[in-house]
Amino acid sequence: MQQANTAPASPAPKDFLLSVEGLTVSFDGFKAVNGLSFYVDENEIRVIIGPNGAGKTTVLDLICGRTRATEGSIRFRDQELTRMKEHQIVHAGVGRKFQNPSIYEDLTVFENLELSFPRGRGVFGALAFRRDAQVIERVEEIAETIFLKDQLDTQAAILSHGQKQWLEIGMLLIQSPELLMLDEPVAGMSVSERVKTAELLHQIIKGHSVIVIEHDMKFVQDIAHRVTVMHQGKVLSEGSMDHVQHDPKVIEVYLGH
Protein backbone atom coordinates (compact mmCIF):
# COMPACT_ATOMS: atom_id res chain seq x y z
CA MET A 1 0.00 0.00 0.00
CA GLN A 2 2.68 2.51 -0.90
CA GLN A 3 0.67 4.32 -3.52
CA ALA A 4 -2.69 5.28 -2.15
CA ASN A 5 -5.48 6.50 -4.35
CA THR A 6 -5.48 10.22 -4.60
CA ALA A 7 -9.16 10.22 -5.33
CA PRO A 8 -11.08 8.52 -2.54
CA ALA A 9 -13.70 7.29 -4.96
CA SER A 10 -13.78 3.54 -4.52
CA PRO A 11 -11.75 2.70 -1.48
CA ALA A 12 -11.43 -0.76 -0.01
CA PRO A 13 -11.76 0.13 3.67
CA LYS A 14 -9.79 -2.87 4.90
CA ASP A 15 -6.67 -1.69 3.14
CA PHE A 16 -6.34 1.51 5.09
CA LEU A 17 -5.36 1.97 8.69
CA LEU A 18 -7.91 4.73 9.05
CA SER A 19 -10.87 5.45 6.81
CA VAL A 20 -12.91 8.54 7.43
CA GLU A 21 -16.03 8.65 5.31
CA GLY A 22 -18.76 11.23 5.01
CA LEU A 23 -17.89 12.62 8.41
CA THR A 24 -20.12 15.47 9.52
CA VAL A 25 -20.49 17.22 12.81
CA SER A 26 -22.90 19.99 13.39
CA PHE A 27 -22.85 22.36 16.34
CA ASP A 28 -26.27 24.00 16.53
CA GLY A 29 -26.59 23.83 12.77
CA PHE A 30 -23.05 25.00 12.05
CA LYS A 31 -21.22 22.22 10.25
CA ALA A 32 -17.66 22.39 11.53
CA VAL A 33 -16.86 19.27 9.53
CA ASN A 34 -19.02 18.61 6.51
CA GLY A 35 -19.02 15.33 4.60
CA LEU A 36 -15.31 14.82 5.09
CA SER A 37 -13.60 11.72 3.70
CA PHE A 38 -9.97 10.78 3.79
CA TYR A 39 -7.85 7.66 4.20
CA VAL A 40 -4.60 7.08 6.00
CA ASP A 41 -2.27 4.22 5.14
CA GLU A 42 -0.10 2.21 7.46
CA ASN A 43 3.12 4.07 8.24
CA GLU A 44 1.92 7.16 6.49
CA ILE A 45 2.67 10.64 7.74
CA ARG A 46 -0.34 12.75 6.94
CA VAL A 47 -0.38 16.46 7.53
CA ILE A 48 -3.62 18.39 7.69
CA ILE A 49 -3.35 22.06 6.92
CA GLY A 50 -5.92 24.75 6.41
CA PRO A 51 -6.86 28.23 7.55
CA ASN A 52 -8.14 28.87 11.07
CA GLY A 53 -11.61 27.50 11.58
CA ALA A 54 -11.28 24.97 8.78
CA GLY A 55 -12.16 22.17 11.19
CA LYS A 56 -8.73 20.55 11.57
CA THR A 57 -8.77 20.15 15.32
CA THR A 58 -12.40 19.07 15.18
CA VAL A 59 -11.39 16.19 12.91
CA LEU A 60 -8.90 14.98 15.51
CA ASP A 61 -11.53 15.44 18.24
CA LEU A 62 -13.90 13.28 16.22
CA ILE A 63 -11.35 10.53 15.64
CA CYS A 64 -10.34 10.31 19.30
CA GLY A 65 -13.92 10.43 20.52
CA ARG A 66 -13.83 13.79 22.23
CA THR A 67 -16.58 15.03 19.94
CA ARG A 68 -19.34 12.80 18.65
CA ALA A 69 -19.98 12.73 14.90
CA THR A 70 -23.42 13.71 13.65
CA GLU A 71 -23.02 11.53 10.56
CA GLY A 72 -20.45 9.41 8.83
CA SER A 73 -18.00 6.78 9.88
CA ILE A 74 -14.46 6.51 11.15
CA ARG A 75 -13.00 3.06 10.75
CA PHE A 76 -9.72 2.19 12.38
CA ARG A 77 -8.62 -1.24 11.17
CA ASP A 78 -11.93 -3.06 11.56
CA GLN A 79 -13.34 -1.03 14.42
CA GLU A 80 -15.90 1.72 14.13
CA LEU A 81 -14.55 4.54 16.32
CA THR A 82 -17.65 6.73 16.22
CA ARG A 83 -19.39 4.36 18.59
CA MET A 84 -16.54 3.86 21.03
CA LYS A 85 -15.65 5.74 24.20
CA GLU A 86 -12.44 7.74 24.47
CA HIS A 87 -10.55 5.19 26.53
CA GLN A 88 -11.62 2.35 24.24
CA ILE A 89 -10.29 4.29 21.26
CA VAL A 90 -6.99 4.65 23.11
CA HIS A 91 -6.97 0.90 23.78
CA ALA A 92 -7.60 0.32 20.08
CA GLY A 93 -4.33 2.10 19.36
CA VAL A 94 -5.06 5.77 18.71
CA GLY A 95 -3.07 8.37 20.65
CA ARG A 96 -3.77 12.08 20.70
CA LYS A 97 -1.65 15.06 21.60
CA PHE A 98 -3.48 18.27 22.27
CA GLN A 99 -2.57 21.67 20.97
CA ASN A 100 -1.81 23.15 24.37
CA PRO A 101 0.41 20.86 26.37
CA SER A 102 -1.94 18.67 28.34
CA ILE A 103 0.07 17.10 31.14
CA TYR A 104 -0.36 16.53 34.87
CA GLU A 105 1.31 19.58 36.33
CA ASP A 106 1.29 18.38 39.94
CA LEU A 107 3.09 15.14 39.14
CA THR A 108 6.69 14.53 38.21
CA VAL A 109 7.89 13.73 34.71
CA PHE A 110 8.33 10.12 35.77
CA GLU A 111 4.79 9.90 37.15
CA ASN A 112 3.36 11.54 34.05
CA LEU A 113 4.96 8.89 31.87
CA GLU A 114 4.15 6.09 34.27
CA LEU A 115 0.44 6.92 34.25
CA SER A 116 0.48 6.68 30.48
CA PHE A 117 2.15 3.27 30.53
CA PRO A 118 -0.43 0.84 29.17
CA ARG A 119 -0.91 -1.40 32.19
CA GLY A 120 -3.23 -1.31 35.18
CA ARG A 121 -5.86 0.76 33.44
CA GLY A 122 -8.79 -0.58 35.45
CA VAL A 123 -9.67 0.55 38.97
CA PHE A 124 -8.21 -2.53 40.62
CA GLY A 125 -5.37 -2.71 38.13
CA ALA A 126 -4.39 0.80 39.22
CA LEU A 127 -4.57 -0.17 42.89
CA ALA A 128 -2.42 -3.25 42.32
CA PHE A 129 0.00 -1.59 39.90
CA ARG A 130 3.66 -2.12 40.81
CA ARG A 131 6.45 0.09 39.62
CA ASP A 132 8.61 -2.78 38.42
CA ALA A 133 11.78 -2.91 36.36
CA GLN A 134 9.86 -3.08 33.11
CA VAL A 135 8.01 0.14 33.85
CA ILE A 136 11.13 1.97 35.00
CA GLU A 137 13.08 0.81 31.97
CA ARG A 138 10.38 1.90 29.56
CA VAL A 139 9.89 5.28 31.24
CA GLU A 140 13.63 5.93 31.14
CA GLU A 141 13.81 4.89 27.52
CA ILE A 142 11.01 7.28 26.56
CA ALA A 143 12.46 10.04 28.71
CA GLU A 144 15.71 9.72 26.80
CA THR A 145 13.87 10.02 23.49
CA ILE A 146 12.08 13.17 24.58
CA PHE A 147 15.22 14.81 26.05
CA LEU A 148 13.93 14.68 29.61
CA LYS A 149 16.10 11.93 31.05
CA ASP A 150 17.64 14.28 33.61
CA GLN A 151 14.29 15.70 34.64
CA LEU A 152 12.48 12.55 35.70
CA ASP A 153 11.93 13.82 39.24
CA THR A 154 11.04 17.34 38.19
CA GLN A 155 7.49 18.48 38.77
CA ALA A 156 5.91 18.87 35.35
CA ALA A 157 4.55 22.34 36.16
CA ILE A 158 8.02 23.88 36.16
CA LEU A 159 9.08 22.52 32.77
CA SER A 160 9.43 24.97 29.89
CA HIS A 161 6.68 25.13 27.30
CA GLY A 162 8.73 23.11 24.83
CA GLN A 163 9.57 20.49 27.43
CA LYS A 164 5.90 20.17 28.29
CA GLN A 165 5.15 19.52 24.62
CA TRP A 166 7.83 16.85 24.56
CA LEU A 167 6.50 15.30 27.71
CA GLU A 168 3.07 15.00 26.19
CA ILE A 169 4.58 13.42 23.08
CA GLY A 170 6.39 11.03 25.41
CA MET A 171 3.13 10.21 27.20
CA LEU A 172 1.75 9.30 23.81
CA LEU A 173 4.74 7.22 22.81
CA ILE A 174 4.67 5.13 25.95
CA GLN A 175 1.15 4.04 25.02
CA SER A 176 2.68 2.56 21.83
CA PRO A 177 -0.23 3.65 19.65
CA GLU A 178 -0.48 2.61 16.02
CA LEU A 179 -1.87 5.96 15.03
CA LEU A 180 -0.45 9.13 16.53
CA MET A 181 -2.36 12.37 16.21
CA LEU A 182 -0.43 15.55 16.90
CA ASP A 183 -2.08 18.94 17.01
CA GLU A 184 0.46 21.65 16.20
CA PRO A 185 3.41 20.01 17.93
CA VAL A 186 5.83 22.87 17.33
CA ALA A 187 3.50 25.78 18.03
CA GLY A 188 4.87 28.26 20.53
CA MET A 189 8.34 26.74 20.60
CA SER A 190 11.63 28.54 20.44
CA VAL A 191 13.78 28.06 17.36
CA SER A 192 16.11 25.59 19.02
CA GLU A 193 13.21 23.65 20.53
CA ARG A 194 11.60 23.55 17.13
CA VAL A 195 14.68 22.00 15.57
CA LYS A 196 14.89 19.42 18.32
CA THR A 197 11.19 18.65 18.02
CA ALA A 198 11.49 18.11 14.29
CA GLU A 199 14.33 15.71 15.00
CA LEU A 200 12.22 13.99 17.65
CA LEU A 201 9.25 13.65 15.35
CA HIS A 202 11.42 12.25 12.59
CA GLN A 203 12.62 9.65 15.00
CA ILE A 204 9.24 8.64 16.39
CA ILE A 205 7.24 8.62 13.20
CA LYS A 206 9.17 5.60 11.97
CA GLY A 207 6.92 2.63 12.40
CA HIS A 208 3.85 4.71 13.27
CA SER A 209 1.09 6.20 11.26
CA VAL A 210 0.80 9.86 12.10
CA ILE A 211 -1.71 12.60 11.52
CA VAL A 212 -0.24 16.04 12.17
CA ILE A 213 -1.89 19.42 12.14
CA GLU A 214 0.70 22.08 11.48
CA HIS A 215 0.99 25.60 10.17
CA ASP A 216 4.75 25.69 9.73
CA MET A 217 5.10 25.03 6.00
CA LYS A 218 8.79 24.27 6.13
CA PHE A 219 8.10 21.69 8.77
CA VAL A 220 5.22 20.24 6.77
CA GLN A 221 7.37 19.97 3.65
CA ASP A 222 9.98 18.25 5.71
CA ILE A 223 7.86 15.46 7.15
CA ALA A 224 4.67 14.98 5.15
CA HIS A 225 4.08 12.02 2.90
CA ARG A 226 0.75 13.46 1.92
CA VAL A 227 -1.06 16.63 2.75
CA THR A 228 -4.77 17.19 3.19
CA VAL A 229 -5.89 20.78 2.86
CA MET A 230 -9.11 21.56 4.68
CA HIS A 231 -11.36 24.52 4.14
CA GLN A 232 -14.73 25.16 5.77
CA GLY A 233 -15.02 21.61 7.03
CA LYS A 234 -14.28 19.98 3.71
CA VAL A 235 -11.28 18.60 1.88
CA LEU A 236 -10.09 21.26 -0.52
CA SER A 237 -7.18 19.38 -1.94
CA GLU A 238 -5.16 16.30 -1.18
CA GLY A 239 -1.88 14.88 -2.41
CA SER A 240 1.83 15.48 -2.13
CA MET A 241 3.06 18.78 -0.78
CA ASP A 242 4.13 19.70 -4.26
CA HIS A 243 0.69 18.90 -5.62
CA VAL A 244 -1.26 20.92 -3.08
CA GLN A 245 1.14 23.84 -3.25
CA HIS A 246 0.37 24.24 -6.90
CA ASP A 247 -3.33 23.65 -6.64
CA PRO A 248 -5.00 26.97 -7.57
CA LYS A 249 -7.82 26.41 -5.08
CA VAL A 250 -5.33 26.03 -2.26
CA ILE A 251 -3.34 29.05 -3.33
CA GLU A 252 -6.49 31.09 -3.29
CA VAL A 253 -7.75 30.20 0.18
CA TYR A 254 -4.63 29.52 2.10
CA LEU A 255 -1.11 29.57 0.81
CA GLY A 256 -1.62 32.69 -1.23
CA HIS A 257 -2.16 34.90 1.78
Partner 1 sequence: MNITLYSRREWIALAILSALILIVFPATMDIFRLNLVGKYLTYAFVAVGLVLCWGHGGILSLGQGIFFGLGGYCMAMFLKLEASSPENTAIQSTPGIPDFMDWNQVTELPFWWVPFKSFPFTLVAVVVVPVIFAWIIGAAMFKRRVGGVYFAIITQAFAAILTILIVGQQGYTGGVNGITDLRTLLGWDIRTDGAKVILYFVNAALLIAVLLVGQMVRVSKFGRLLIAMRDKEDRVRFSGYDVANFKMFIFCLAAAFSAIGGAMFTLQVGFMSPSFVGIVPSIEMVIFAAVGGRLSLFGAVYGALIVNWAKTSFSETFPELWLFAMGGLFIAVVMTFPNGLAGLFRSHVEPLVARLLRKPVVAARETTTAAEPAKLAAE
120 binds partner 1 (CB under 8 A): yes
- Residue in 80, 83, 118, 144 binding partner 1, rule: CB under 8 A: 118
Query: CB-wise, 1 or 136, nearer to partner 1?
Result: 136
CB 174, min distance to partner 1, A: 9
Q: Between 146 and 185, how does the x/- string for binding to partner 1 read (CB under 8 A)? A: -------------------------x---x----------
CB 63, min distance to partner 1, A: 11
Q: Between 125 and 144, how does the x/- string for binding to partner 1 read (CB under 8 A)? A: -xxxx-x----x--------
Secondary structure in 3-state letters for the chain: CCCCCCCCCCCCHHHCCEEEEEEEEEECCEEEEEEEEEEECCCCEEEEECCCCCCHHHHHHHHHCCCCCCEEEEEECCEEHHHCCHHHHHHHCEEEECCCCCCCCCCEHHHHHHHHCCCCCCHHHHHHCCCCHHHHHHHHHHHHHCCCHHHCCCEHHHCCHHHHHHHHHHHHHCCCCCEEEEECCCCCCCHHHHHHHHHHHHHHCCCCEEEEECCCHHHHHHHCCEEEEEECCEEEEEECHHHHHCCHHHHHHHHCC
Query: CB-wise, 7 or 127, nearer to partner 1?
Result: 127
Q: Which parts of this chain interact with partner 1 (CB under 8 A)?
A: 64, 66, 85-87, 90-91, 95-96, 98, 102-107, 110-111, 114-116, 118, 120-123, 126-129, 131, 136, 171, 175
